[in-house]
A and B are shown apart, each in its own frame.
Chain A
Amino acid sequence: MSAAGSIRIIAIVGGSAAFLIGASIFLAAIGRPPLATLSQMVLYAFGDSYSLSESLVKATPILLCALAVILPARLGLITVGGEGQLYFGALTGTAVVIALPAAPMVVLLPAMLLAGAIGGGAWSGIAGLLRARCNVNETISTLLMNYVAVLLVNYVIYGAWKDPASLGWPATMMFPPAAIVPSVFGTRAHVGLIVGIAAAVVLHISVTHTRWGIALRVLAGNRKVAAMAGFSFVKQTLLVMALGGALAGFAGICETSAIQGRLQAGISVGYGLTGFLVAWLSGQNFLRAIPIAILIGGLIAAGDALQLYSKIPSASATIMQGLLFVAALGASGLAGRGTARHG
């Protein structure tokens, strides 16, 4: 078997084992029966159609934000801006709804989604421009722009866009039905999931089988040689950052419209960061990000359900999520180190 293949298997088996041990210790420490609780979590995540749909709801923005990390990573860029792009996309998408509340669905829905994607793309594109033109580190700039985007959303929901009818609750008006993203399969899961999976497949094919993919690989490998071949780092940086941001922005407006029904604080519970971790777990691979995002979505949904039914504090779900990431990243790191020198 190829070295990469065996590394991956070692990482998956080792990571799962480490996670199970860590989670069991944690659950035992807070006085819960580990095995029973863990199997309950699996049921809460994927046990019936309702829990499955909740898991997919959570997985959707995570997947889109992961794609927003993977695409720039193919050019060697490390961005952590999913959260900010998601918020900014929510903001620009909502602006359309506020401007045209009475427009018919055929106009309003596409315009809103497009505005969300453009907003996210522009937000991320700024970081791309700074990187390409002024060599500003994209990791830092996207990180900082996260705070700005979140605060901008707060600014409008506490200010100009606050719905007077909401009695002081900081939120915009409810979206009209013409601005609600349709759900699929009669569940709460929405079109964003389909878009996310389709985007992952299209991006995967693009980077592996097209001339554009070659450009990204050459640019990531040797910028000097790439320039000789006529590939522009500036152009491609802008492109991958904007495309990635557009996906995260799209996730933002979908969350706002389909899940919350209006723009308010807390549209994302760390989806941007979770997406970043999913991207790393997938080894920056678009297709692999799909099942991983669904798995993590399941874990989050199960955490919510545990809190509801078993009165386990919601922080424990977050802690377990953290354990999972540490176990998986640690295992893949160790496996990689163990086999790296025999190639």
Chain B
Amino acid sequence: MAQPLVMMSSIRKQFGPVLANDDVSVTVNAGEVLALLGENGAGKSTLMKILYGFYAADAGTIRISGQPVSFSSPREAMAAGIGMVFQQFSLIPALSVLENLLAALPDAPWLQPRGSTKVRAALRWLTRLAPEIDPNRAVRTLSVGERQLVELAKVLNLDARVVILDEPTSVLTPAETERLYGFIKTLTSEGKAVVLITHKLADIAACADHIVVMRGGKIVDEAPARDRTPGSLVEAMVGRGVAGSLPPPSSPPTDVPLLQVRGLSADIQGRKIRDVSFELAPGEILGIAGVSGNGQFTLAESLAGLVPALAGDVVLDGVSIASRVEDGAISGDVAYVPERPLDNAVVADLDLALNLALRDVRQLDFFPDRKAAFRRAHELISRYDIRPPQPTLAASALSGGNLQKLVIARELSGRVRLVIACYPTMGLDVLATQAVYREMFRQATEDACVVWISEELDDLLSYAHRIAVIHAGEIMGITRREAADRRTLGRWMAGHAMIEAA
């Protein structure tokens, strides 16, 4: 039998009191897709960051094609043919796509004449992965999904033999996801190995060859993909059967609107929304579907009042909450779960207790009561199962999913009248996803309006009261859940507006 391409044996990694990897051994074969599953904080990202030379393992060995290696930096790992796309991105927002790609090339040239071979080399994968992305656009104007594709192109440019993808599909649209599956297949057919970290069983069905399930830093299951059913995987992941799906939230009692959005237009660095109008009754959940990068971020930010409205208004219970005045905090009646929590919702180098307290930090005493803050943090951490449960830890030490739970805990634990949630379950495992939905729906049953921006069309179709579709910054149509069908929604997503019945 041929040498495995990568062999990690008995890897151990401890972060302070947390044992993130406990005697973990995996092998990755050329031409295969290894799916790495496990609940939030199981240690998946850590294991792969060790392979990528980002962390040094405390114990254990790594062999590549049988040769023992020890990487002290990602640069060395890359030279050995290992590339990784992180869960949290590493692109430089102020630079253009092309500049980012050029800078990542091993021998990045000082001068970059357009059309030179270097530029062609930098763009060769991007043009295959996402021909619609203009390389001269600044990265900060890209949507999460587009950023992911640029990250992927960046890694593929380095001719990696082993490509590690950390939850790539959690931010991609169904179409982008399909395209990614296609690429993964091309890569393996070229003899490369792919490690796919994911929470989505659909990813596994689509492309996994071999499955490794982690829990609490250990491997709890390992098998060829064809030997496992989705049910058994979920059980291995969380250690018990899932509770089944949630009951859909009941319809709102009245239709007197609590939230009125009228002709709202806004612009964040070229990402525009135009003339958005809708009304929500108390307790009503409006799902907003659409291909990511079509104005979702701007919509969420302007509903929260964080960017000035160019036109129109957002009225919550008779009070305008659009265009928060300078220095004013976000309204206490609004809970906002933004996309990319690391950039938009937490202060990475401050501790969990403080991050959890940010919502009403201005009401603290001048000498804040640290004990009380820690008590509250402990309570939220255990209620929302944030791991590791240490209020003194810096937020940057949390795994992607736990970071999201932290934001949910802060925003949704109190009483509010409007919930704005942008991809709230991005990066969450099955149980955590359900917990978030339960929290969101609880707000609805307590008569808050919920604006729920998501790409999980299935979930929107099972839980939202109404579904709107956003395309190019405009609402293409709104429909009740009962009347919604995938074809119409799909047409709206592609930009065909609703034809009003006269």
Chain B residue nearest to A218 in the complex (CB): B347
B345 touches A235 (CB 8 A): no
Query: What residues of chain B lie closer than 8 Å to A222, measured between beta carbons?
Result: 343, 346-348
B332-367 near A? 1/0 per residue, CB < 8 Å: 000010000001111111100010001101101111
Query: What residues of chain A lie closer than 8 Å to B304, measured between beta carbons?
Result: 228
B107 close to chain A: CB less than 8 A: no
A201 close to chain B: CB less than 8 A: no
Known contacts A209-B367, A210-B367; A230 and B346 CB within 8 A of each other: no
B318 close to chain A: CB less than 8 A: no
Query: What residues of chain A lie closer than 8 Å to B366, measured between beta carbons?
Result: 210-212
Complex Cα spacing A127 to B354, Å: 30
Rounded to whole Å, the gap between the CB of B416 and the closest CB of chain A is: 14
Chain A residue nearest to B370 in the complex (CB): A209
Query: What residues of chain A lie closer than 8 Å to B306, measured between beta carbons?
Result: 227-228
B350 touches A218 (CB 8 A): yes
Query: What residues of chain B lie closer than 8 Å to A218, measured between beta carbons?
Result: 347, 350, 354, 358, 361
A232 touches B344 (CB 8 A): no
Complex Cα spacing A226 to B326, Å: 12
B270 close to chain A: CB less than 8 A: no
B56 touches A214 (CB 8 A): no
B368 close to chain A: CB less than 8 A: yes
Choose one: B329, B345, B364; the contact of A214 (CB below 8 Å): B364
Query: What residues of chain B lie closer than 8 Å to A226, measured between beta carbons?
Result: 347
B313-326 near A? 1/0 per residue, CB < 8 Å: 00000000000001
Complex Cα spacing A218 to B362, Å: 12
Choose one: A221, A230, A341; the contact of B328 (CB below 8 Å): A230
Query: What residues of chain A lie closer than 8 Å to B56, measured between beta carbons?
Result: 341-342
Chain A residue nearest to B354 in the complex (CB): A214
Complex Cα spacing A211 to B358, Å: 11
B350 touches A221 (CB 8 A): yes
Query: What residues of chain A lie closer than 8 Å to B361, measured between beta carbons?
Result: 211, 214-215, 218, 229-231
A225 close to chain B: CB less than 8 A: yes
A221 touches B349 (CB 8 A): yes
B328 touches A210 (CB 8 A): no
Query: Could you pull out 10 A-B pairs where Cβ atoms are within 8 angstroms?
Result: A209-B368, A210-B367, A211-B365, A211-B366, A218-B350, A218-B361, A221-B350, A225-B344, A228-B336, A229-B358
- Extra contacts, 5 of them, besides A211-B366, A228-B336, A235-B327 (Cβ < 8 A), are A211-B367, A215-B361, A217-B347, A218-B347, A234-B326
- Which B residues fall within an 8 A CB radius of A? 56, 72-73, 304, 306, 326-330, 336, 343-350, 354, 358-359, 361-362, 364-368
Closest 9 CB pairs of A and B: A230-B329, A221-B347, A232-B327, A222-B347, A211-B364, A228-B330, A229-B358, A230-B362, A229-B361
